[in-house]
């Protein structure tokens, strides 16, 4: 089993190092790693954020463990050369259309949530985010209006097949949980969202046991803070899912806690924390590696068929937190490496 390790930029390499230590400690027979450059690091070395060798490795691998990309030095580059194009390119090239972002509060972290503990303790949801379409991948550009003003534009669209396949992932995810699916859109304003809602309703016929509801995205942002316990599975588009998952992370304690899986139709996947390269804390040993370690657990469960090993990692993370391991984002002083040490010490 080949895992492509793509550490990327900023805190990416720091958190990937800790996830690698945990995976090594499991001593899984036949698991091998191959590392490659991606993002700003790849641009600086090769002139491209997603070099052909890196893409080829990602295609060849059984799974990909990804850190983060993004480098302030690269923010003025033409868009197709920016680090972020690497993760967008991998998602598109590998048809990783289904992004699962579980948001659960570890009970020990009730005090780290931005919400009151009794509200935060209810959080146990999965955000299913579409990842290959929407305004992210529509025609975009800069142009001049008839009166000579500069105008930026990005076209938002979904076709019905794109909506149907992610809706099915939403319903399947709900079937494996509490059978409650909330589809989040902006159908009161956007035609893209009206189609989204129509197709989700049509797809519901295949999953009559699931209780389906619909919510506008602005209300959803409010409800996530008011009463996050009402959500079991949320299914939504690329842009809304990006924003809502960062918000959900803070309800669950920290953006440094939320893992993710990006899957294709055959469960091949890329696994990454939902956070970015955090240039403000990079190189200081302050990054929380738990989101990446939990992403490694998702990789073992979804793409490598090793659910017991995934359980071991998740149990070790819970035990490390019970034992008081807290990086600065969780209100403590543990360094990135000390967080890794705590998980390793808790592995049974």
Q: Which residues are annotated as a binding site for Mg(2+)?
A: 218, 242, 246
Q: Does 276 bind ligand NAD (CB under 6 A)?
A: yes
CA-to-CA separations, 94 to 10, 38, 155, in angstroms, rounded: 24, 15, 22
Q: Does 255 bind ligand NAD (CB under 6 A)?
A: yes
Catalytic residue, chosen from 158, 242, 268, 302, is 242
**Cβ atoms 241, 231 nearer than 8 A:** no
Q: Does 329 bind ligand NAD (CB under 6 A)?
A: yes
**Cβ atoms 4, 270 nearer than 8 A:** no
Give 236's DSSP letter.
E
Q: Does 130 bind ligand IPM (CB under 6 A)?
A: no
Q: Does 272 bind Mg ion (CB under 5 A)?
A: no
Tokens of 272: 């990454």
Q: Does 50 bind ligand NAD (CB under 6 A)?
A: no
**Which residue is it, tokens 């800069």?**
142
* Minimal distance, residue 279 CB to ligand IPM, in Å: 13
Query: Is 9 assigned a catalytic role?
Result: no
Q: Which is nearer to ligand NAD, 15 or 42 (CB)?
A: 15
Q: Does 242 bind Mg ion (CB under 5 A)?
A: yes
Q: Does 338 bind ligand NAD (CB under 6 A)?
A: no
Give me the phi and psi of 4, to 5 degrees please.
-85, 125
Q: Which residues in 291-330 are b (16+ Cβ under 10 Å) and which e?
A: bbbbbbbbbbbbbbebeebbebbbebbebbbeeebbbbbb
Among 280, 284, 311, 345, binds ligand NAD (CB under 6 A): 280
Q: Which is nearer to ligand IPM, 96 or 330 (CB)?
A: 96
Phi-psi sector, 293: left (phi>0), alpha (psi -120 to 50), beta: alpha
Tokens of 110: 């009730």
Among 71, 84, 130, 338, binds ligand IPM (CB under 6 A): 84
**Cβ atoms 303, 73 nearer than 8 A:** no
Q: At what angle do helices 12-26 and 336-346 cross, to 10 degrees?
A: 20
Nearest residue to ligand IPM by CB is 84
Pairing mode, if any, of strands 233-236 and 261-263?
Answer: unpaired
**Which residue is it, tokens 């490659």?**
36
Query: Is 271 assigned a catalytic role?
Result: no
**Cβ atoms 261, 274 nearer than 8 A:** no
**CA-CA distance, 268 to 295, in Å (whole number)?**
14
* Minimal distance, residue 154 CB to ligand NAD, in Å: 16
Q: Which is nearer to Mg ion, 136 or 158 (CB)?
A: 136
Q: Which is nearer to ligand NAD, 210 or 269 (CB)?
A: 269
Q: Which is nearer to Mg ion, 9 or 338 (CB)?
A: 9
Tokens of 215: 């919510």
Among 88, 212, 316, 317, binds ligand IPM (CB under 6 A): 88
Q: Does 7 bind ligand NAD (CB under 6 A)?
A: no
Residue span 203-242 as binding mask against ligand IPM, x where in contact by CB under 6 A, dash where not: ---------------------------------------x
CA-to-CA separations, 108 to 38, 257, 323, in angstroms, rounded: 35, 13, 9
Catalytic residue, chosen from 136, 207, 271, 302, is 136
Q: Which residues bind ligand IPM (CB under 6 A)?
A: 84, 87-88, 242, 274, 276
For the annotated catalytic residues, the residue numbers are: 136, 186, 218, 242, 246
The residues binding ligand NAD (CB under 6 A) are 11, 15, 68-70, 84, 87, 255-256, 272, 275-281, 287-288, 291, 329
């Amino acid at each position: 089993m080949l895992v492509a390790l793509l550490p990327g930029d900023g805190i990416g390499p720091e958190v990937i190092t800790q996830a690698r230590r945990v995976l090594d400690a499991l001593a899984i027979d036949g698991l091998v790693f191959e590392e490659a450059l991606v993002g700003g690091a790849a641009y600086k070395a090769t002139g491209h954020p997603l070099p052909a060798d890196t893409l080829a490795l990602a295609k060849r691998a059984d799974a990909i463990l990804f850190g983060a990309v993004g480098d302030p030095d690269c923010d003025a580059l033409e868009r197709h050369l920016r680090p972020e194009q690497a993760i967008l390119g991998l998602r598109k090239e590998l048809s990783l259309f289904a992004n699962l972002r579980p948001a659960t509060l570890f009970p020990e972290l009730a005090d780290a949530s931005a919400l009151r503990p009794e509200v935060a303790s209810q959080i146990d949801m999965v955000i299913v985010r579409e990842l290959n379409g929407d305004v992210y991948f529509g025609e975009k550009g800069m142009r001049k209006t008839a009166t000579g003003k500069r105008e930026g534009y990005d076209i938002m669209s979904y076709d019905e097949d794109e909506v149907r396949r992610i809706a099915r992932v939403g319903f399947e995810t709900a079937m494996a949980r509490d059978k409650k699916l909330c589809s989040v859109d902006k159908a009161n304003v956007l035609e893209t969202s009206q189609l989204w809602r129509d197709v989700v309703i049509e797809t519901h016929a295949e999953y009559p046991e699931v209780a389906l509801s619909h919510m506008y995205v602005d209300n959803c942002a409010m409800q996530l803070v008011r009463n996050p316990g009402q959500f079991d599975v949320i299914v939504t588009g690329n842009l809304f899912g990006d924003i809502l998952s960062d918000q959900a992370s803070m309800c669950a304690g920290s953006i440094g806690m939320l893992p993710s899986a990006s899957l294709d139709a055959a469960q091949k996947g890329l696994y990454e924390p939902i956070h970015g390269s955090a240039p403000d804390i990079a190189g200081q040993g302050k990054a929380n590696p738990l989101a990446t370690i939990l992403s490694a657990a998702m990789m073992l469960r979804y793409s490598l068929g090793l659910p017991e090993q995934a359980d071991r990692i998740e149990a070790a993370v819970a035990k490390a937190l019970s034992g008081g391991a807290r990086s600065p984002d969780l209100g403590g002083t543990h360094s990135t490496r000390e967080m890794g040490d705590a998980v390793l010490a808790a592995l049974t």
